[in-house]
Amino acid sequence: MSTASLPATADPSPGPHHVAIIMDGNGRWAKARGLPRVAGHRRGADAVRRVVRGAGELGIPVLTLFAFSTENWTRPADEVNDLMGLLRHYLRNELAKLAHKYAELGRVAVRNVRRDGMEALKKAEKDHKISQDEHRQKSDEVQKLTDRYVKQVDEVLAHKEKEIKTV
């Protein structure tokens, strides 16, 4: 789902603050196509991925998905185990993707600060507020700081990935 697919006449006013979806019928969908119920549940997980991405693109801050009701515990143990395994797999993969996305945003932010700092140093030298040697020295310091902060972002990401694998 992409906001680009919205019609040109779409209402520009803010959308809903909270959307809730009851996921139902994945097993019936699979059965109607002669597939095992777990195939329907996997297809439902794909739909969830698209819904979550679309909600983010549309700026919906709160999304609630009702995916497993108390009645679902009465299903055959194999199906319940498949559903729980699918949930764990989905959460691990999606959380890992989010961690990578936010780490990259952190790296970009640090590099943008570096760029701005380098431009300020260049301007200061041009305006004769600092010497060429000071410019070089301060540029080296800015680069070292950038490298240090990017390394910290990578360390936090590695820690998060390890944490996610234990979910």
For residue 60, what are the domain limits? 1-67
Please indicate, yes or no, if residue 79 is contained in any of the structural domains: no
Question: Which CATH number goes with the domain that contains 133?
Answer: 1.10.132.20
Active site residue 24: yes
Average pLDDT, the chain: 88
Residue 85 lies in a domain: no
147 is a catalytic site residue: no
The first and second tokens of residue 94, run together, are 């999606």
pLDDT confidence bin for 2, thresholds 50/70/90: very low
* Same domain, yes or no: 99 and 165: yes
Catalytic residue selected from 11, 26, 46, 72 = 72
Alpha-carbon dihedral 93, 96, 101, 107, rounded to 10 degrees: -160
For residue 12, the model assigns a pLDDT of 62
Percentage of residues of the chain with pLDDT beyond 70: 92
pLDDT band, very low/low/confident/very high, at 34 (cuts 50, 70, 90): very high
Identified catalytic residue from 24, 46, 140, 147: 24
pTM of the model: 0.61
* Adjacent-strand bridge partners of 62: 18
Residue 123's region, left for phi above 0, alpha for psi from -120 to 50, else beta, is: alpha
Q: Which residues of 104-131 are buried (b: 16+ CB within 10 A; e: fewer)?
A: eebbeebeeebeebbeebeeebeeeebe
